[in-house]
Amino acid sequence: MAVDQAGEPQPTGVAPDAAAHVRAAVAEYTEQLLPLADMRAVAQEMEANLYNLALHSPNGRVRLQASQALIAICERREEQQRAGHRTINVAALFDELSQRAPGQPEAIDRGVVENKPTKHY
Q: For residue 63, how many other CB atoms are within 10 A of its CB?
A: 15
- What residues make up the domain containing 71? 35-99
**Same domain assignment for residues 65 and 87:** yes
Residue 57, phi then psi, degrees to nearest 5: -65, 135
pLDDT over 90, % of the chain:
26
Say how far apart CA 79 and CA 100 lie, in whole Å.
34
pLDDT of residue 58 exceeding 70: yes
**Same domain assignment for residues 22 and 39:** no
* pTM value surpassing 0.85: no
Over residues 95-103, mean pLDDT: 69
Q: Which amino acid is at 30?
A: T
Assess if residue 67 is contained within a domain: yes
Say how far apart CA 115 and CA 8 lie, in whole Å.
49
Q: Please give the C-alpha separations between residue 93 and each of 27, 73, 97, 100, 109, in angstroms, as whole numbers.
A: 38, 33, 6, 11, 13
